[in-house]
Amino acid sequence: MLKLTYTEDNVNLELLEDSLNNWLYARLILSVSASIPINFEPTIASFNIPKDSELTEEIEAMVELENNLEIDGHLSDSVEIIIKGIWIVSPPQQQEGIFVTSLSTRTEMLLFRGWVRTLATETNVNYI
């Protein structure tokens, strides 16, 4: 499972071993137990990773196998990764929140590897 956490000035990407359903269920139970409103919304998220012929080719090959993944390679020095998933926010009008999705383990690892390479070129991006 991939988890993107959006804050006011940063985006963090985590690669989690938990299943999407288990993670969402735990989040829902926590919210209900704490009487905190929470909003789940299906949507898309995107982020850029540097163009790397080997990595880009591997990700492009995975697009054919994944329903939740698209790639846009029209940028000169990077590719845009577009993924379908669930946006989670509390309270519902908040601009900061969490985006989660589930892809194959191989695809998630490739995207995480691309994200780590992004860290080498951008100082305002962190991962956990």
pLDDT band at 75; cut points 50, 70, 90: confident
Query: Over 60: is that where the pLDDT of 125 sits?
Result: no
pLDDT at position 77: 83
Strand bridging mode 11-15 / 126-127: parallel
**Is this model's pTM higher than 0.75 or not?**
yes
The tens digit of pLDDT for each residue in 95-105 reads: 899 999 999 99
| Strands annotated E in the chain | 2-6, 11-15, 39-50, 69-72, 78-89, 97-101, 126-127
Average pLDDT rounded to a whole number, residues 62-85 = 89
Residues 115 and 127: beta-carbon distance below 8 Å: yes
SS3 of the chain: helix, strand, coil, percent, to 5 = 35, 35, 30
How many Å apart are CA 53 and CA 66, to the nearest integer? 20
pLDDT band at 48; cut points 50, 70, 90: confident
Instruction: Give how far the C-alpha of residue 124 lies from the chain's centroid of Cα atoms, to the nearest Å.
Output: 17
